[in-house]
Structure 1
Amino acid sequence: MSAFSAARSILTSLHEVMAARTHAQAKLNQVVEIIGESLHSEVCSIYLLREGMLELYATRGLNQAAVHVTRLGVGEGLTGAIAQNIETLNLDEAATHPEFQYRSETGEENFHSFAGVPIVRRERAIGVLTIQHVDPRKYEEVEIEALQTVAMVLAELINNAGLADEEGLGGSTEARTGQESLDGLKLVAGLAIGEAVFHQPRIQIEQTVAEDIEAERQRVYLAFDRMREQIDTMTNQAEFGVDGEHGQVLETYKMFAYDEGWSRRINEAIDSGLTAEAAIERVQQRTRMRMRAISDPLLRDRMHDLEDLSNRLIRIVSGQLGTAAQKGLARDSILVAKNLGPAELLEYDKRRLKGVVLEEGSLTAHVVILARAMGIPVVGRLRNVRGLVRDGDTILVDGDAGKVTLRPGQGVTSAFQTRFTRSREKQASYAKLREVEPFTRDGKRINVMMNAGLRDDVAMLAMTGADGIGLYRTEFQFLVSAALPQRERQARLYRDVLEAANGKKVVFRTVDIGGDKSLPYLSSETAKLDENPAMGWRALRLALERDGLMKAQARALLEGAAGYELNVMFPMVSEPWEFDAAKDVFDQQLAWLKTRKAQLPSAIRYGVMLEVPSLAEMLDQLLPRLSFISIGTNDLTQFLFAADRANPMLAERYDWLSPSILRFLSRVVSNCEGEQVDLGVCGEMGGRRLEALALIGLGIRRLSITPAAVGQIKELVRKVDTREIGDAMDGWLASPPLDMRVALQAWAKAHSIEVD
């Protein structure tokens, strides 16, 4: 028996129950009997969320006296865990599960097997459907699938009867009044102000059980055709072009739209007896449950693309097409959404859309990549923001700090507007320095370079006046691709970047994947075991193990840089032999290209990122083999302090101006003096004015920073005398002040240097 034939058998009986003119309790009593008989299970029970507790509302097999008596808190016992996590449990021996709790009044001591699925409405659990069996056994996948389908239909019955808490888990979503500030995740930098517009009102499915399966199937076929036509049109009309990573994002999204596996699963759900809308929602629910079990952030983001398409498809098939994009934006707007797909963002009027706030979202999400290209500030991870804001509320978005202010008072709005104006004025003043070389007051040339990761980022070279790209993150091409990029495609990207750089230096860092940048198509069993992935099987370690990956990228870089100077940087080198092994891969590919008489780079320079502290102890051995070193302050600092930079509880322990990190950097500078090695700093530290001042004082003469910081750092450089700040730093390092940050700020103020 298939999952869908089992579900169809149950739904046929449930349809009659739901149509009957009996009260809700009697219907649910019949439901548990039908499910228990169909699945040959001694026990079937329904728990409903009532007044914040999960109440046993109907059962077959347990003690009837426990109905309306047994109540579990959310998260309490197996049933509470299912509701809290919105997950499915399937256990052959329930008592062995850490969340198991025995309730004597139910008489369930004789039952060993246990399976349960959440009853979900509006993405919130309003109850739990469970089955139990005397014999210890795992329930078959077909049985679990049938339970999940039935639970979806039950949600409609329960809601119509008003039996469960209306909002389910998560509390009231009633919008509040008064000013409220929220802290989220910085996704796309920038400032924005506008009125709240909800991206998409939730579509309510009015009917779940199908009357005519073939008619429902035809409705889905027509909806798929229309949706794919819309996607094709938007892909071709993307106003910022479809070349580069943005084009790859849209092509990956388009691939989902044409995925036969997805459409097949929806058709199978229709076979079980669901309407077209309910079938799409059923498959979407299953995807959401799987997403909750996935720790890989990139794979979760790709599944959000599929959710975006599901929302689009269900709107088409139901005829409820009214999104904010279709209705149009009447004024400057901040879009509010749980999450957003890339195609959905493209539908909005870019003149009116000023910012986006999301309940979810991550740095690697497709929509974030597109928003960055479009210059739209985005803040994510704002828990329940859709429940805290009303349509039309004023919202201030601070993408620089990851903060959002709802319904700001006049004083806060005025201060924000002043800051917004000042920011634009400063950017205008920095733009005037675009063609000005950054010399210090005592005539020292500081190289101010920029970091990049997308092909279109290279355009910022001319806009900012940066000296070059000191860090090109080649892994971005891998992150936005649905499969491992072919060597030819990699080579084409590298050549495009070099051509667009127009003679300025570009430093390509080989792929730094692993850790928080996992690829679903390139997994490692060892990586899955990493308790701390930031210090685990990632970057060069992973690339050397995956020698095919390293060889393909090496040849792509050599071919792409034909006729140009090629600068290659290896990430996360901890010992000299790792550099030698990586360079050997390039040497082998270079030799092979020479035998083919292929055009080669005009020069090749190799360097390392110094981010693992152990490498500093071996610099005397490695320096003769290097052309340059870039100190990666982001990872280096967290390794030195044993403080995960992603952990908010350790934020105060992650200080770039601690004497310990400054002494470490000073020692690296001293070790490189007199050597023919170009030493610089890559990372956010160099893009902050106060920290950049400290780095210049340590003797750092090359900074590679975010493009947005180039102008202000060039302006800072022109106010600094390296001898004065160098002498001050020597004194502070010899005898550290109580607070290095305060000391630096006081020095800067005394020398009329603005550092805030």
Structure 2
Amino acid sequence: MTAAASARQILTQLHEVMARRTHAQYKLDRVVEIIGESLDSEVCSIYLLREGALELYATRGLNPEAVHVTRMMVGEGLTGKIAGNIETLNLAEAKAHPDFEYRPETGEEKFHSFAGVPIVYRERAVGVLCVQHVDPRRYEEVEIEALQTTAMILSELIAHKELVDDQEQIELEAAHVEADVLEGLVLVKGLAAGQAVFHQPRIQIDQVVAEDTEAERQRVYRAFDKMREQIDTMGKEPEFGKGGDHDDVLETYRMFAYDEGWSRRINEAIDSGLTAEAAIERVQQRTRMRMREIDDPLLADRMHDLEDLSNRLLRIVSGQMSTAASQGLRRDAILIARNLGPAELLEYDRRRLKGVVLEEGSLTAHVVIVARAMGIPVLGRVSNVRAQVSEGDSILVDADKGTVTLRPSQQMLNAFDARFAKSRERQAAYAELRDVEPFTRCGTRITVMMNAGLRDDMSTLPLSGADGVGLFRTEFQFLVSSTLPQRERQTRLYRDVLDAAGDKPVIFRTVDIGGDKAVPYLNSAIAERDENPALGWRALRLALEREGLLKSQARALLEAAAGRTLNVMFPMVSEPWEFDDARAVFEGQLEYLRGRRKLVPEVINYGCMLEVPALAEVMEQMVERASFISVGTNDLTQFLFAADRANPKLAERYDWLSPAILRFLARVSQGVVGHKVDLAVCGEMGGRRLEALALLGIGYRRLSITPAAVGPIKELVRKVDLEEITTQMTEWLLRPPPNMRAALQGWAAEREIDTD
């Protein structure tokens, strides 16, 4: 029997049960009988979340006396794991699972196989539906589909408050009134204050079982047509059509909107007997469960894009089209959402939208790219925030420290306003240094450059006062595109960047993808997953193997810089021969263009990133080859300490002011003395005032940092005497103090150098 036929058979029987005027317990008792018989399963049980615990509410096959007696907490045992993670389990041998817990009162010792699905209401697990069998076997996909569809039916009963205690319902919907501080992941830095506005009001699905399957199918077809029309219309907005990253995002949206596989899965759900709304939600639930199993952040972000479109499709088919954007923001707002698509963010009034708080989100998400361009602070991974805030609540977002304060007290508001005011004063002071050259007290000129990765980032170059772009990350164009960017598109981007920079230099880093920056159009990069992607097949290693990719980028950069100076930097160079091979690719494309009498760059400077510690051991060879070397402190630190910076347990464990890394960096600095090679630090370390002070003391005179850090670092430079800090750092590296950070802070404080 097909999944659709099996589910339809079960739905028909369930529909008859729900239509009867009987109490909830009778309905659940009948549901477990129907499911057990349909799946030929000896056990079928329903657990419901009651008074904070999962209670066995109905069963077929377990000891009837365990009903309303067996209880477990969310996260406890297999049933609790399903509810806690909102995931599906399908096990041939339940007892072999590490979370298995035996409950003797149920009489379940003779059963081996186990499968369970969460019962989800308002995106929250409120119960679990599970089956068990004597024989050790995994349940087939058709059976899991039937369980998941049944779980939707049960959620409809819960929606009508037939199975949820009144007290629990009050707890679910109660508005919190006390101040609460939540932590999250900083996605876009900044401070923001406003009132909570929910991006998307919850759409209540009033009817799950379809009366006319064909009519439901036609409703979905019409909704798809309307959604695709909206996406196509969006492409005509001013933000699009300029060849920028917004266009790449929209291209991904179109890819999903016209994906036949997605529409086919919704049709299959309708075939099983669901309404259009229930079918979309059914497929959406499966997508959410898949997202929890995806380790690759970029693939997970693409699933978020599909979620964004699913929400749009559900609003269209239900007729509940209004969002906070369509209704308009009437006050300064902090947008609250589980997740947010970039297209949806662009619909908001930028004058009123002050910040965004997400329950999910990641640094590589498309919405982050757009939010950064819009200058909107974003905090992600704020767990369960939508359940803890009410529409209109006052909210403070500190996307510098990674906190959001709900319903702040007047004292909290006053303190935040003071920080805001101080921040504005500082920004004004830094802005006055925009055209001031950063000379130290002893008269040494320090080069302060900015990092960039988007066309829109270039607008901040003249505002920041940076000496140029010390790192332009070319991979962003590759990451947000669903296909390999054509050479013409690459050329257009690089030419626009050079035009925007004017007389100031730009250093283009060749593409750094692969590893944890997987892209779908490099199939083998996805198929052969690295256990430790940071150390794997990525950056220059990938580019040299996929020579066509590097050749295309080389030609694009050479053509874009025709008649100008081109600065090219190769990432993750481990040995000199890798640098030589990469340079040879560029030289080959240069000869190709010259042979066709094409205009080429007047000067080409080749450099490399020093991220792999091994390269420092052959510095005497690199200084003869490279025009410049940029130390990438982010990757270098994790390689030196064998500490994955993506691991939250290790992210803050190792200090940039540790003697180990400072000694390493000092040795690199000493290795270029007497050679005509520019040495820079390129990374977050150089953008922190205390760390920058240490770098100046061990010989670094060029820094490439975020645009927001340029002003603060220029202000710091003007207060430093290089001879004084160099003498002190040399002494400390020979005989390190117990706490290098504290010692340096004390030294700076004595000289009235602000290092905050």
C-alpha distance in 2 between matches for 1:2 and 1:488: 48
Residue in 2 that maps onto 1:4: 4
3-state SS, counterpart of residue 236 of structure 1: coil
Q: Deviations over 1:241-280 (max 9, x none)?
A: 7531122112322332233322222222112111111111
Secondary structure in 1 matching 2:236 = helix
Query: Does the CA-based 8 Å contact 1:36-1:131 persist in structure 2?
Result: yes
Contact 1:124/1:167 (<8 A) preserved: no
Task: Tell me the CA shift for residue 292 of structure 1.
Answer: 0.9
Bigger drift between 10-19 and 74-83 goes to: 74-83
1:354, distance to aligned residue in structure 2 (A): 0.8
Contact 1:126 1:165 in 2 (8 A): no
Distance (whole Å) between structure 2 residues aligned to residue 506 and residue 433 of structure 1? 21
| Deviation of the 1:370 alpha carbon | 0.8
Matched with 2:330 is: 330
Distance 1:422 1:155, change over 3 A: same
- Conserved 8 A contact 2:118-2:129: yes
Whether the 8 Å contact between 2:633 and 2:681 is mirrored in structure 1 is: yes
**Counterpart for residue 612 of structure 1:** 612
Residue aligning to 2:343: 343
Q: What are the equivalent positions in structure 2 for 1:560-579 lying under 5 Å apart? A: 560-579=560-579
Whole-Å Cα distance in 1 between the matches of residues 65 and 464 of structure 2? 74
Q: How far off is 1:434 after superposition?
A: 2.3
Matches within 5 A, 1:698-737: 698-737=698-737
Q: Distance in 1 between matches of 2:658 and 2:110?
A: 62
Query: Structure 1 residues 736 and 268 mapped into 2: Cα distance closer, same or farther (>3 Å)?
Result: same
Cα distance in 1 for residues equivalent to 2:6 and 2:299: 31
Residues 668-703 of structure 1 deviation map (CA, whole Å, 9 limit, x = unaligned): 111100011110110111112222222222221111
Structure 2 match to 1:267:
267
Whole-Å separation in 2 of the counterparts to 1:309 and 1:50:
34
Are the aligned partners of 1:167 and 1:173 in contact in 2 as well (CA < 8 Å)?
no
| 1:276-315 equivalences in 2 (<5 Å) | 276-315=276-315
Q: For 2:585, give the aligned amino acid.
A: V
Change (3 A) 1:360 1:179: same
The answer for the alignment partner of 1:228 in structure 2 is 228
Deviates most, 276-285 or 546-555 = 546-555
Cα distance, 1:190 vs structure 2: 1.5
Q: Contact (CA 8 Å) 1:611, 1:632: kept in 2 or not?
A: yes
1:618 offset after TM fit, Å?
1.3
Q: What does residue 39 of structure 1 align with? A: 39
Task: Give the corresponding residue for 1:485.
Answer: 485
How far is the alpha carbon of 1:376 from its aligned partner?
0.8
Q: Are 1:693 and 2:693 an aligned pair?
A: yes
Partners of 2:357 and 2:347 lie apart in 1 by 16
Partner letter of residue 212 of structure 1? D
How far apart, in 2, do the equivalents of 1:745 and 1:134 lie?
A: 67
Kindly provide the amino acid, as one letter, of the partner of residue 7 in structure 1: A
Please state whether the residue corresponding to 1:162 is helix, strand or coil.
coil
Q: Which moved more, 1:703-712 or 1:426-435?
A: 426-435
Q: Could you say if the C-alpha distance between residues 141 and 595 of structure 1 is closer, same or farther in structure 2, counting changes exceeding 3 Å?
A: farther
With 363-372 and 382-391 compared, the bigger mean Cα shift is at 382-391
Report the 3-state secondary structure (helix = DSSP H, G, I; strand = E; otherwise coil) of the residue aligned with 2:160: helix
Deviation at 1:508, TM superposition (A): 1.3
SS at match of 1:279: helix
Deviates more, 1:320-329 or 1:580-589: 580-589
SS of 1:644's partner is coil
Output the CA distance in 2 between the equivalents of 1:414 and 1:53: 41
Partner residue in 2 for 1:461:
461
Q: Per-residue deviation at 1:595? A: 4.1
**1:167 to 1:602, Cα distance in 2 relative to 1, 3 A:** farther
1:107-135 Cα deviation digits (max 9, x unpaired): 44444433222211111222222233344
Partner of 1:391: 391
Q: What displacement does 1:485 show?
A: 1.9
Q: Could you tell me whether the CA contact under 8 Å between 1:451 and 1:472 is conserved in 2?
A: yes
Tell which deviates more after alignment, 654-663 or 289-298: 654-663
1:673-692 paired onto structure 2 within 5 Å? 673-692=673-692
Relative distance call for 1:526 and 1:215 in structure 2 (3 A) is: closer
Hey, what does 1:546 align to over in structure 2? 546
> 1:700 is aligned with what amino acid?
Y
SS in 2 for 1:237: coil
Q: In the alignment, does 2:740 pair up with 1:740? A: yes
The Cα shift of 1:144 comes to 1.7
Change (3 A) 1:393 1:277: same
Please show how residues 91-490 of structure 1 align to structure 2 within 5 Å: 91-160=91-160, 162-164=162-164, 174-239=174-239, 242-490=242-490
1:526 & 1:642 partners in 2: Cα distance? Answer: 24
Counterpart mapping for 1:493-504 below 5 A: 493-504=493-504
Out of 415-424 and 471-480, give the one that drifted further: 415-424
Q: Quick one: distance in 2 between partners of 1:16 and 1:743?
A: 76
Counterpart CA distance in 1 for 2:234 and 2:402 is 30
- Of 144-153 and 280-289, deviating more is 144-153
Structure 2 CA distance, aligned partners of 1:394 and 1:99?
A: 41
CA distance in 1, matches of 2:721, 2:460: 28
Write the distance in 1 (CA, Å) between the matches of 2:339 and 2:19.
Answer: 36
Q: Which amino acid aligns with 1:193?
A: A
Name the aligned partner's letter for residue 462 of structure 1: P
Partner residue of 2:67? 67
Deviations 1:430-475 (A, max 9, x none): 2233223222233322111110011111121122221111111111
SS of 1:690's equivalent in the other structure is helix
Q: Distance in 1 between matches of 2:240 and 2:398?
A: 24
CA contact (8 A) 2:518 2:525 kept: no
Residue type at the aligned position of 1:355: G
- SS class of match (2:754): coil
**Pair 1:206–1:539, CA change in 2 (3 A):** same
Corresponding pairs, count: 755
Matches of 2:70 and 2:360, distance apart in 1? 35
How far 1:238 sits from its partner (Å)?
A: 4.5
Distance 2:87 2:544 in 1: 38
How far apart in 1 are the matches of 2:110 and 2:747? Answer: 76
Instruction: State the shift of 1:505 in Å.
Output: 1.3
What residue identity is the alignment partner of 2:196?
A: A
How far is the alpha carbon of 1:164 from its aligned partner?
4.5
Q: Which whole-Å deviations, capped at 9, do the CAs of 1:697-751 have from their partners, x for residues lacking one?
A: 2221111000111122222223333223223322332333333333333333343
Given that 1:527 and 1:537 are in contact with CA atoms closer than 8 Å, whether structure 2 keeps it comes out as no
CA distance in structure 2 between the aligned counterparts of 1:136 and 1:738, rounded to whole angstroms: 59
Matches of 1:614 and 1:329, distance apart in 2: 54
Unmatched tracts of structure 1, length 5 or more? none
1:585 matched to which residue of 2?
585
> Do the aligned partners of residues 316 and 544 (structure 1) sit closer, same or farther apart at CA in structure 2, a change above 3 Å counting?
same
1:81-92 equivalences in 2 (<5 Å): 81-92=81-92
Aligned equivalents of 2:462, 2:122: Cα separation in 1: 48
> Is the contact between residue 694 and residue 729 of structure 1 (CA under 8 Å) also seen in structure 2?
yes
Give the RMSD, CA atoms, in angstroms. 2.5
- Matching residue of 1:755: 755
Amino acid at match of 2:314: I
Is the contact made by 2:24 and 2:162 (CA closer than 8 Å) also made in structure 1? no
Q: Structure 2 counterpart of 1:535, which letter?
A: L
Please show how residues 7-22 of structure 1 align to structure 2 within 5 Å: 7-22=7-22
Give 1:524 shift. 4.7
Q: Deviations over 1:506-541 (max 9, x none)?
A: 111122224443334435579865443333333223
Shift of 1:281: 0.6
What code does the residue aligned with 2:310 have? S
* Structure 2 residues not aligned, in runs of 5+: none
In structure 2, the CA distance between the partners of 1:15 and 1:751, relative to structure 1 (3 Å rule), is same
TM-score by length of 2: 0.94
**Per-residue CA distance 1:164-197 (angstroms, 9 max, x = gap):** 468999x856443333222211111121111111
User: What is the percentage of aligned positions where both structures have the same residue?
Assistant: 73
Greater Cα offset, 230-239 or 196-205: 230-239
TM-score (normalised: structure 1)? 0.94
Contact 2:115 2:131 in 1 (8 A): yes
Report the residue type matching 1:481 in the other structure: S
